[in-house]
Chain A
Amino acid sequence: MKLTEQQVRHVARLARLALSPEELVTYREQLSAVLDAVDALAQVDTTGVVPTSVVGASTPHLRADVPHGEVGVKVALANAPQVDGTSFAIPRVIE
């Protein structure tokens, strides 16, 4: 399917990506081309077919409720771009 500019803008916003006007045009074309190819799926009769979402183990292994693995604030914050006390800091969020 062919995406509209509006759709591309909406998707970029949902994904928290900022696009320049040129990027908007390029991505619109490229994504539309991929979606055209993907639209082949519509030809498949999938009536009553159960979707496969998870492969591998059939049910998760359950963990005992015993504390382990806390890394401590030093490690937790080690890669942070901005820190205040033992918190991650970001520009003030206006609600």
Chain B
Amino acid sequence: MKGLVALTKALADGATSSVETTKALLQKPDLVGAFLLRDDAGALAAAKASDERRARGAALGPLDGVSVALKDNILTEGVVTTAGSKLLAGFVPPYDATVTTRLKAAGAVLLGKTNLDEFGMGSSTENSAFQQTKNPFDLTRTPGGSSGGSAAAVAAGLCAGALGTDTGGSIRQPAAFTGLVGLKPTYGRVSRAGVVAYASSLDQVGPLARSVEDVALLLEAIEGFDAADSTSSDVAKTAWREGLRSGVKGLRVGLPKELFVDGMDPEIDASVRAAARRLEALGAHVVELSLPHTKYALATYYVIAPCEASSNLGRYDGVRYGHRAKDVKALKDLYEKSRSEGLGPEVKRRIMLGTFALSAGYHDAYYVKAQQVRTLIRRDYEAAFASVDVVLSATSPVLPWRLGEKLDDPLAMYLMDVLTLPCNLAGLPGLSMPCGQSKAGLPIGLQLLGRPFDEATLLRAAHALEADLNLSLEPR
């Protein structure tokens, strides 16, 4: 399977056609359970249209004819979008998310919708109401989550690239678990319009792909101001790929001691530190630093995200769309039965947690307090970025775990997000890239965090490291 950039080139050279590659991808069996829906008809029509544009010599988009998959919390007009929830089974959106529109405008062929933890709530994609997604590197293990379907689809060679969403690590952790590059852009860089909201102040859409350059290409297609999203920032679009090859000479890299946590897998620790030494060898200055409030990130996140989720999910009431319980006679039953039948246990947990944290008597101790600590976490990073250009750590403290292993202990599952959460809380850009493999052949990912809107530096550093490590991680 070629990457996005390679495929773009092959299409340009006439080595293949969009219809040919699209067909091949659609026919490939989905052994990892990555897709909830493959839109054969839509994808083939788009591929045909792309080939015709090319034949006509019409203007082509940067992704013309290239196959991309979307996480199923990204709305697609006329194509069922469920957010992994039974509550939205069969829901046909009447509009496209802004990122969907932008991918279409760039000429991309949208292959289908990928599996996820219900509403993005989870770290293993096991919270999907519909199916289990497996890690292509070991089918007994999780691909990570919540964008596990997108990650598995790209890693299994079922598409050239994919979009995910990241609220607390949901792009970066699955990317790390499946040997991919995944980017969570700065909050406000990519529009959230048409993306099923989980936690509005943390959610961000971003790409997962096989190389840094592929990720840059996808980012170019989806980023930029959107009048439909009031939190969207009016920053200029960037030609990301142009600066990729400038190297890391003089780059200041910080290793925060708080992100090298106790209980971290020693293979991961070793692999990440080795990568840091490679950066040093390439001319970067690597220093240790401290982000003192990091230890409160987990508590902060598990207040703020559930609070916002409890509010965002209030609209699923069975009145206008979505699941409605049968034979309800009273309003109370309409609400309680529809929601209880339609929502899964993890979603209910977070809704109740958030409802509690916002309720009278607890609002200040939990919600307000968490927002204050969030300010302190943000300040930690502001201070750090006064002396370094990127912050480097592992993406996940553990390797992909066995499916079913952590399902009974929500808190243990939450603890797995500890390294990725601060990035969302501070609104920073974060990138995960492969930096090695465990002895058992499981991918290991490292995380780079940058200043707000400085994705350029992240991509440049990642590209240099990628070239230097020259890994070729392929599922067995």
Contacts and interface: CB of A to CB of B under 8 A. Distances in A.
The number of chain B residues touching the other chain, given as a range, is 35 or more
B298 A37 contact: yes
Nearest to B326: A81
Contact of A17 (B227, B295, B352): B352
B128 to A, nearest CB: 20
B231 A16 contact: no
Interface residues of A, number: 51
Contacts of A60: 230
B372 interface: yes
A88 B353 contact: no
Nearest to B370: A41
B26 interface: no
B372 A56 contact: no
A4 B427 CA distance: 35
Contacts of B339: 15-18
B187 A49 contact: no
Given A37-B411, A46-B369, A49-B376, A27 B293 contact: no
Nearest to B227: A61
A34 interface: yes
Contacts of A75: 94
Interface string B318-338: 111111100011111111110
Interface of A: 3, 7-8, 10-12, 14-19, 27, 30-31, 33-35, 37-44, 46, 49-57, 60-61, 63, 71, 75, 78-82, 88, 90-91, 93-94
| 10 cross-chain pairs, A with B, having the tightest CB-CB distances, nearest first | A51-B371, A56-B188, A79-B321, A56-B231, A46-B372, A81-B324, A16-B335, A60-B230, A18-B336, A55-B427
25 contacts: A3-B356, A10-B359, A16-B332, A17-B336, A18-B339, A30-B411, A34-B349, A35-B353, A38-B299, A44-B293, A44-B296, A44-B376, A49-B375, A51-B372, A52-B372, A52-B374, A53-B201, A55-B231, A56-B427, A57-B233, A63-B227, A75-B94, A78-B92, A91-B331, A91-B333
Interface of B: 91-92, 94, 187-188, 201, 227, 230-234, 293, 295-296, 298-300, 302-303, 310, 317-324, 328-337, 339-340, 343, 348-349, 351-353, 355-357, 359, 365-366, 368-376, 378, 410-411, 414, 427
Given A51-B375, A60-B230, A81-B321, 6 more contacts: A27-B348, A46-B376, A54-B231, A78-B94, A90-B334, A94-B330
